[in-house]
Amino acid sequence: MSKKLYIGNLSYKVTELDLKKKFGEIGECISAKILIDKFSGNPTGFAFVEMATEEDASLAIKKLNRTAMYGRAIIVDEANPKGGRRNSRRPGFKRRGRF
């Protein structure tokens, strides 16, 4: 089963092909997607990489986290599942004032 990784602190010079090559050296890299700001059209500085197996993903985290890419130390970690953001309307949360 494939595993998705979060890649942060990317230089704006990094391309999806650069990521596929770098992660392909560790294991089978299925895809690499750099997120683009919808208003400016510029890269956001982070991406998602999908590795073929969980073993490849774990190895990529161990070997590539905090390594330099275009002069910046990239952050490699497991991606949160889609919709995994914290909700401010969780039980026990009370709003103050009028919004």
Q: Please, are residues 19 and 32 in contact by the beta-carbon 8 Å criterion?
A: yes
Cα 70 from Cα 72, distance rounded (Å):
6
Over residues 37-86, the pLDDT tens digits come to 999 999 999 999 999 999 999 999 999 999 999 999 999 999 998 775 55
Range name among 15-19, 20-24, 60-64, 82-86 with the lowest pLDDT average: 82-86
Q: What is the pLDDT of residue 7?
A: 98
Q: Which residue has the tokens 């002069």?
A: 71
- Confirm whether 34 is domain-assigned: yes
Angle in degrees, CA 51, 60, 24, rounded to 5: 55
Amino acid at 56: D
pLDDT of residue 43: 96
This prediction has a pTM of: 0.81
Is the residue at 63 inside a domain? yes
Q: Is residue 88 part of a domain?
A: no
- CATH code, domain carrying 52: 3.30.70.330
70 in any annotated domain: yes
The pLDDT of residue 92 is 54
- Residue 88: pLDDT above 70? no
Residue 96 belongs to a domain: no
Dump the DSSP string for 11-25.
Answer: -TT--HHHHHHHHHT
CA dihedral 18, 22, 23, 27 (to 10 degrees): 130
- Tell me, yes or no, whether 37 lies in a domain: yes
Is 98 among the domain residues? Answer: no
